[in-house]
Structure 1
């Protein structure tokens, strides 16, 4: 098992997670007989289409320093 530091810096691990997530999402939609288009239409009707904007917007960091720098910037913008 990878330690947390290795996970943050391991692009190969990131690719594996993305592929696994994609496969699980596709399998669930197919099991429910819902296409992605249908899922988005349902979300629109329920008023939660904007929630999809947040699903895959997570930033990918290459180093711990990038995480620290962003946290410092966020803290400075609050003050």
Structure 2
């Protein structure tokens, strides 16, 4: 019969790996936020330069409403799934 070794050789290694993964994730989130903010500012300045700021504001508002709809729909689906699990 094969014996399975379940001892943790270096527990600090697991902690450091977890911290490293967390820092990598936070770095990715920060770079994504910087990317989105910079592109939003570029779009805003471009629309302002061409006098289309009102159109851009309307488009942004409709995109925001669409995003809110998708989030609420997603939450409703998760609520339904969780309620089915507890039946």
User: TM-score, normalised to structure 2's length?
Assistant: 0.37
Work out which structure has the larger RCO, using CA pairs closer than 8 Å and 6 or more positions apart in sequence. Answer: 1
| Structure (1 or 2) with the larger CA radius of gyration | 2
TM-score normalised by L of structure 1: 0.40
